[in-house]
Amino acid sequence: MAADQQQQTHDQTYDVVVLGAGPVGQTVADRVRAAGLDVAVVERELVGGECSYWACVPSKSLLRPVRAISHAQRVDGASEAVNGSADPAGVFGRRDRYVNDWDDTGQADWVAGIGATLVRGHGRLDGPRRVVVTTPSSREVVLAVRHAVVICTGSRSAIPDLPGLVEARPWTNREANDSSDVPNRLAVVGAGAVGVEMATAWHGLGSKVTLLARGARLLPRMEPFAGELVGRGLAAAGVDVRTGVTVRELSRAYPYCPVALALTDGTELEVDDVLFATGRKPLTDHIGLETVGLTPGSWLDVDDTCRVRAVEDGWLYAAGDVNHRALLTHQGKYQARIAGAAIGARAAGTPLDTAQWGVHSTTADHHAVPQAIFTDPEVAAVGLTEEQAVQAGRRIKIIDVEIGDVMGAKLYADGYSGRARMVVDVDSGHLLGVTMVGPGVTEMLHSATIAVAGQVPVDRLWHAVPCFPTISELWLRLLEAYRDSFVTLV
């Protein structure tokens, strides 16, 4: 190794160092800069992170053309104009534009524009308030920290250790979102949000897709009807949906040969590629956690200001996927805003709950996490499901409404089919959760989120008048059904 590559620089000191320049790390940097603190942001891959290049942005760009065709086919007068399927080259070109051809220049310029310092390389803790970065040229840059280090390194796909896995060369969310070749046959293992979205996208692009769900239903963490309706939609489109089965062994003789999957129900399946959408692991393996008494590869337990509980003196924070509260970009950015405000307030020696810092704790992480799933039909959910509310010991009333009965939904799509559920705490009169399944429902999710996060009394929701004729009249139907449930009891 050359002498300059072995060199370790003198310490550079910053108020805050952020590990990871994805949306969460960028938001932390922006908030602490707004508080007048200087900050260095360390990134080993592309500035913009997983969401920008291998998850949220590319996946939704792939899904939109597929769903647009499906929606047009449900409107008389428009369906006659749809005489083909999605054009893969056009869809991939659209995706490539939205990920800027995997060029992070624009996002790096944004980091510089807020006055933060971008340090490219692999960053790791080296004891309290100290970060060492190994740059692409193998130099080591030492960053000393006055106030806080914030870990925003995200997560990666968790693939089960199965016989034949290495030879099979399976896809993760990364290959599923950056590939420009459509496999003739694709197996998707896992039926959470990533699994059902990728089954939707790749079937729409021309693959013969088989979706394998380990459990009895799709989307197992959501209301049962959500997985039921999404599964029905996938099957109607032509996806082979199998529940109660997963992979026990894989084999691939040569790199471009088919993959043979031995399934737990005793059957075999031959495909050209297999995608594992079987959960996430924290990207905390090689970031020096052991130097501050933490376990490498672990999720990081934090308080409501995202400060890591197990580290003394309160200088270490963790926001986004790594704290395992809600593995969603929007929720990570919410945490980042609060962590940034908390760091700024503590650095200034002022109380967190003063007006200048705004929100001061991640309370929405506990009861109002929204999630949108861009399948056909779409799923939009926030707050607690019926099962979660019962487990929490709440006295609840469940209100279900068929969205297709709403005039705005009828106009949105001929033969509109969908369902909505409202979970109400009967003691407080507040909404605990809302789940909606149907075309276009993701655009109504924020109204539900406001109602749940704001603990708006049901009696007050009567005065939030939905516009006619829109799908949002669903809110009126839910309130009427809630009122009528009490009349029936009398």
Indicate the DSSP class of residue 45: S
Contacting residues for 274 by C-beta, under 8 A, at least 6 apart:
168, 170, 171, 186, 187, 188, 189, 247, 250, 259, 261
35 labeled binding residue: no
Q: Measured in whole angstroms, how far is the alpha carbon of residue 343 from the centre of its chain?
A: 25
Q: Measured in whole angstroms, how far is the alpha carbon of residue 58 from the centre of its chain?
A: 13
CA dist 16 and 150 (Å) reads: 8
CA dist 339 and 362 (Å) reads: 9
190 labeled binding residue: yes
192 labeled binding residue: yes
Place of tokens 């054009």: 87
349 labeled binding residue: no
40 labeled binding residue: no
CB-CB contact of 42 with 123 (8 Å): yes
60 labeled binding residue: yes
Instruction: Collapse the DSSP code of 152 into the 3-class scheme (helix H, G, I; strand E, B; otherwise coil) and give the result.
Output: coil
Omega of the bond leading into 469 within 30 degrees of 0 (cis): yes
Strand partners, 132: 124, 142
**342: closest CA among 320, 363, 358, 331?**
358
DSSP element (H, E) containing 284: none
**118: closest CA among 128, 127, 107, 126?**
107
314 labeled binding residue: no
CA dist 175 and 274 (Å) reads: 10
Structure tokens at 136: 């692409």
Structure tokens at 290: 């052991």
321 labeled binding residue: yes
**289: closest CA among 281, 280, 279, 299?**
299
Q: What angle do CA 119, 326, 243 make, to 5 degrees?
A: 120
191 labeled binding residue: yes
**66: closest CA among 259, 265, 234?**
234
CA dist 22 and 29 (Å) reads: 11
206 labeled binding residue: no
CA dihedral 203, 204, 205, 208 (to 10 degrees): 20
153 labeled binding residue: yes
CB-CB contact of 188 with 375 (8 Å): no
Omega of the bond leading into 377 within 30 degrees of 0 (cis): yes
196 labeled binding residue: yes
387 labeled binding residue: no
Binding-site residue set: 60, 123, 153-155, 190-197, 279, 321
Binding-site residue set for FAD: 60, 123, 153-155, 321
Binding-site residue set for NAD(+): 190-197, 279
